[in-house]
A and B are shown apart, each in its own frame.
Chain A
């Protein structure tokens, strides 16, 4: 990691939660980026610019969630002692740190502030999860594994709440061949957050 990245880590020390902290169980509200019906003029421009600039970082947070989840599955359930691929962990961590630093370096407009804060919270939780993953004896420590799992649940809720398909911030990528969606009217035309809890 470069010295700049380390400084960034120190500047933005992640929020630490105990495994039983209520903050990890909070159900976040959807934090949609306002659309043109809600804000006009410069604010609308700002919202679009912000949405486009933050999307790559959302993407990495989402991937980090999937990667750490995968590592945990292998740690819990693989029958191979070397299932936790050190190089894969390092690659995931490097990708995440770059996104986290960029996210902290982003100066969101007022219309994107709540959305940005949500992603920062998710990044902080992931940061802590990567820290636990790095710990020697992680695979043997049920307590550490459980703490990572709990953090990931919180991250998942935060990322869902910050999803916005106008900017291609969705948990599953629909832009390619397997899906059938392009010819369909979007069911979420009035709800840019595709994951907002409606009707359950």
Chain B
């Protein structure tokens, strides 16, 4: 009996993202579509999100345009596809502080937010470094950090120090420090509520961009598949690989249980549909008593 339903909701996309950003070392291999998504976890009287996207107004619009983002739609529209409103969301787990994950907190007025403390502390440190080291500040908007202040001020932000079990019943936060960012984390949903869960879903944030990171072609080293880390890492590809192994180990190496939110091919593994706004809704699982939103 599953507690939670989980949907991956596309809210916009980059039509032509360079593949080397997705898979380390994939140089000169062209581009591919990179959907921007967030995740809704609903059940047991709770509604949570993994990341909240960005707000496509004012500066957010400029950022989106610079990143080549198209077809952006607001949370009210996107969440409406699974009969959720932004006001229903009571918890939001921010996997890392990049603008497309942490850039729309104001749209969720009743949510309590969770972010790794290290993510904040290390960005502060990075901003103290000389200009010649500014690469470490990529994709960080100080304005988003300022919005975090308002959350913290109103008691709606928890800085998590490492792992946090049962942030919701059966939902854990797991750190992956110095990987995609300084304080990235993933969300572990034990959908049967058991410590040794046999119904576990891993919501990987940007620790995994797509299936190629989990099951890349292993021909070159004589194996069927191998991990290929994400191209973009402020930390290291080694730490990304180690995090991937931890995630995969926790689900018995069943790759379909590790959910990469930027993966267009989720539709090949899970039931999904395209909305009238040309955005994909992917249904990872259904909790008890919930009806399908993609049927």
The judgment on whether A and B are partners is: yes
Residues of chain B lying within 8 A (CB to CB) of residue A173: 134, 137-138
Q: Which of A1-9, A34-42, A68-76, A117-125 contacts B (4 or more CB under 8 A)?
A: A68-76
By the criterion CB–CB under 8 Å, are A78 and B159 in contact? yes
Residues of chain A lying within 8 A (CB to CB) of residue B16: 180, 183
Q: Is B153 an interface residue (CB 8 A)?
A: yes
What CA separation (Å) do A194 and B141 show in the bound complex? 13
Instruction: Using CB atoms, name the residue of chain B closest to A155.
Output: B146
What CA separation (Å) do A42 and B142 show in the bound complex? 35
* Secondary structure type dominating chain A contacts: helix
Q: What does the 1/0 interface line of B145-161 toward A look like (CB < 8 Å)?
A: 11011111101011101
By the criterion CB–CB under 8 Å, are A178 and B138 in contact? yes
What CA separation (Å) do A171 and B14 show in the bound complex? 21
Residues of chain A lying within 8 A (CB to CB) of residue B124: 66-67, 70-71, 85, 88, 92
Residues of chain B lying within 8 A (CB to CB) of residue A199: 61
Q: Is B120 an interface residue (CB 8 A)?
A: yes
Query: For the side of the interface on B, what is the size category?
Result: 35 or more
By the criterion CB–CB under 8 Å, are A177 and B21 in contact? yes
Q: Which of B125-133, B170-178, B190-198, B214-222 contacts A (4 or more CB under 8 A)?
A: B125-133
By the criterion CB–CB under 8 Å, are A200 and B58 in contact? yes
What CA separation (Å) do A195 and B62 show in the bound complex? 7
Output the least CB separation between B100 and chain A (Å). Answer: 10
By the criterion CB–CB under 8 Å, are B146 and A156 in contact? yes
For chain B, residues 225 to 267, give those with C-beta under 8 angstroms from any C-beta of chain A.
231-232
What CA separation (Å) do A187 and B152 show in the bound complex? 34
By the criterion CB–CB under 8 Å, are B153 and A149 in contact? yes
Of B14, B21, B140, B150, the most chain A CB neighbours within 10 A belong to: B150
For chain A, residues 57 to 88, give those with C-beta under 8 angstroms from any C-beta of chain B.
59, 62-67, 69-80, 83, 85, 88
Residues of chain A lying within 8 A (CB to CB) of residue B62: 187-188, 194-195
Picked from A63, A149, A160, A197, the residue with its CB within 8 Å of the CB of B149 is A149
By the criterion CB–CB under 8 Å, are A63 and B127 in contact? yes
Q: Is B121 an interface residue (CB 8 A)?
A: yes
What CA separation (Å) do A74 and B148 show in the bound complex? 10
* Secondary structure type dominating chain B contacts: helix
For chain B, residues 6 to 24, give those with C-beta under 8 angstroms from any C-beta of chain A.
14, 16-18, 21
Q: Which of B65-73, B77-85, B279-287 contacts A (4 or more CB under 8 A)?
A: B65-73
Q: Is B201 an interface residue (CB 8 A)?
A: no
Total of A-B residue pairs, C-beta within 8 Å: 155
Residues of chain A lying within 8 A (CB to CB) of residue B107: none
What CA separation (Å) do A160 and B139 show in the bound complex? 16
By the criterion CB–CB under 8 Å, are B120 and A70 in contact? yes
Residues of chain A lying within 8 A (CB to CB) of residue B123: 66, 70
What CA separation (Å) do A149 and B153 show in the bound complex? 9
By the criterion CB–CB under 8 Å, are B159 and A77 in contact? yes
Picked from A72, A74, A83, A156, the residue with its CB within 8 Å of the CB of B143 is A156
What CA separation (Å) do A145 and B149 show in the bound complex? 10
Q: Is B270 an interface residue (CB 8 A)?
A: no
Q: A92-B127, A145-B153, A152-B149 known; A73 and B99 CB under 8 Å? A: no
Q: A66-B124, A172-B63, A194-B62 known; A74 and B117 CB under 8 Å? A: yes
By the criterion CB–CB under 8 Å, are A76 and B157 in contact? yes
For chain A, residues 101 to 139, give those with C-beta under 8 angstroms from any C-beta of chain B.
none
What CA separation (Å) do A39 and B72 show in the bound complex? 37
Residues of chain B lying within 8 A (CB to CB) of residue A174: 66
Residues of chain A lying within 8 A (CB to CB) of residue B138: 173, 176-179
Q: A79-B161, A146-B153 known; A66 and B145 CB under 8 Å? A: yes
Residues of chain B lying within 8 A (CB to CB) of residue A63: 127-128, 137, 142
Q: Is A184 an interface residue (CB 8 A)?
A: yes
By the criterion CB–CB under 8 Å, are B149 and A73 in contact? yes
What CA separation (Å) do A36 and B143 show in the bound complex? 30
What CA separation (Å) do A188 and B158 show in the bound complex? 37
Q: A67-B128, A73-B120, A194-B62 known; A80 and B146 CB under 8 Å? A: no
| 30 pairs from A and B in contact (CB 8 Å cutoff) | A63-B128, A63-B137, A66-B123, A67-B128, A69-B146, A70-B124, A70-B145, A76-B152, A76-B157, A78-B161, A79-B117, A79-B159, A79-B161, A83-B121, A88-B128, A92-B127, A149-B150, A149-B153, A160-B143, A171-B59, A172-B139, A176-B135, A180-B14, A180-B16, A181-B66, A184-B68, A187-B62, A194-B66, A195-B59, A199-B61
